Structure 1
Amino acid sequence: MSAHKPVLLAAALVLAASFAGCASTSLEEKAPAVPKAASGNEVRTVRSADGKTEGEISGTPAPDSRFARLKVGMELQQVVKLIGPYDGMYGSETAKRWIPFYLGNDARRGIALYRGEGCLTFTSGNFWSAGGNELIRIDVDPAGKCYQP
Structure 2
Amino acid sequence: MPTCKLVLISVVAFLTACAAHQAPSPASPPAATPAASGAAASSDSRTVPSRDGSYQGEITGQARPGSKFARLQVGMNMEEVQTVLGRAPDRLHTYESGKRWIPFYFGNDARRMQVLYKGEGCLILTGGNVWGGAGGDLVSIHHDATGACYQP
| TM-score, structure 1 as length reference | 0.73
How far apart are 1:30 and its partner, in Å? 7.6
Q: Which residue of 2 aligns with 1:82?
A: 84
1:122 is the counterpart of 2:125: yes
> 1: distance between equivalents of 2:125 and 2:118?
17
Alignment of 1:1-149 (within 5 A): 29=27, 38=36, 39-42=39-42, 43-84=45-86, 85-149=88-152
How far apart are 1:119 and its partner, in Å? 0.2
1:83-142 C-alpha deviation (Å, 9 max, x unpaired): 121111111001111111111111100001000111000001110112210000000111
Identify unmatched segments of 5+ residues in structure 1. Answer: 1-21
Calculate the aligned-residue CA RMSD, in Å: 2.5
> 2: distance between equivalents of 1:115 and 1:107?
26
Segment drifting more, 40-49 vs 113-122: 40-49
**Which consecutive segments of 4 or more residues in structure 1 shift more than 4 A?**
30-33, 35-38
| Count of aligned positions | 123
Are the equivalent residues in 2 in contact too, given 1:37–1:58 (CA < 8 A)? no
> 1: distance between equivalents of 2:127 and 2:140?
13
> 2: distance between equivalents of 1:63 and 1:76?
23
Q: Which residue of 1 aligns with 2:5?
A: none
> 2: distance between equivalents of 1:69 and 1:32?
34
Q: Which residue of 2 aligns with 1:15?
A: none
Q: Which amino acid counterpart does residue 49 of structure 2 have in structure 1?
A: R
Are the equivalent residues in 1 in contact too, given 2:51–2:76 (CA < 8 A)? no
